[in-house]
Amino acid sequence: MSGVRLDRAGDVCILHLGDGENRFDRAFVDGVLAALEQVAADGGALVTTASGKIWSNGLDLDWMGSSGAGLEFVRDVQRMMARVLLLPVPTVAAVGGHAFAGGAMLALAHEVRVMRADRGFFCLPEVDIGLPFTPGMAALVQCRMPTGAVLRDAAVYGLRIGGADAAARGIVDDAVAADDVLPRALERARALAGKDRATLGLIKERFYGHVAAALTA
């Protein structure tokens, strides 16, 4: 059962991914997509958070195997990432735990990332699990992550990168104490919440539209 829910704190919508591994199955993806449509309608800003030691571990491969979910489901996962990428409100990921594989990519789809400094890893382990990036996923990672050694270490070699190191490398914007992750994310979101939706949406489309197109192809 998906633990996805959407709350609101003033002008910030808070999307809760859940309190477990928050893996992507049908209920999770449908719940997030529905929540994002509500955020797009309500305006303000978005903060995406989770409870526990894991922010998201990405695709639920066991569920996919047992349910027979295939490429169509992967397309829906990528559509979820594209929707975050082009959402016409400021978006902040409050990463209080591990963000692995598709979970790390979902965090990258947000404009701002705040991560716990002392525990938890950002990791794109595709090279180690034999699942190469789709063209859309590769485009998302490239547009959000610093190039050169950072892209090589994180995306090509799949290194596990802690919060403080992720901030130093420019993968996340802030690395803070565990209790400060959500407050800092809310602070950043509130500072940006007044942006005009129509203008912001058009700017995002012009900068990231090619990435969204690759994700939804």
Per-residue pLDDT of the chain (217 residues; tens, 9 = 90+): 578 999 999 999 999 999 999 999 999 999 999 999 999 999 899 999 999 899 999 999 999 999 988 889 999 999 999 999 999 999 999 999 999 999 999 999 999 999 999 999 999 999 999 999 999 999 999 999 999 999 999 999 999 999 999 999 999 999 999 999 999 999 999 999 999 999 999 999 999 999 999 999 9
Sort 97 into a burial class: Cβ within 10 Å, 0-12 / 13-18 / 19+: buried
Q: Which of 42, 84, 38 shows the shortest CA–CA distance to 208?
A: 84
Alpha helices in the chain (DSSP H): 26-42, 61-67, 71-86, 102-109, 126-129, 135-144, 149-151, 163-169, 181-192, 197-216
What are the structural domains of the chain? Answer: 5-216 (3.90.226.10)
Q: Strand 12-16 and strand 5-9: pairing?
A: antiparallel
Q: Are 100 and 57 in contact (CB under 8 A)?
A: yes
The phi, psi pair for 95, rounded to 5°, reads -95, 95
Tell me how long the chain is. Answer: 217
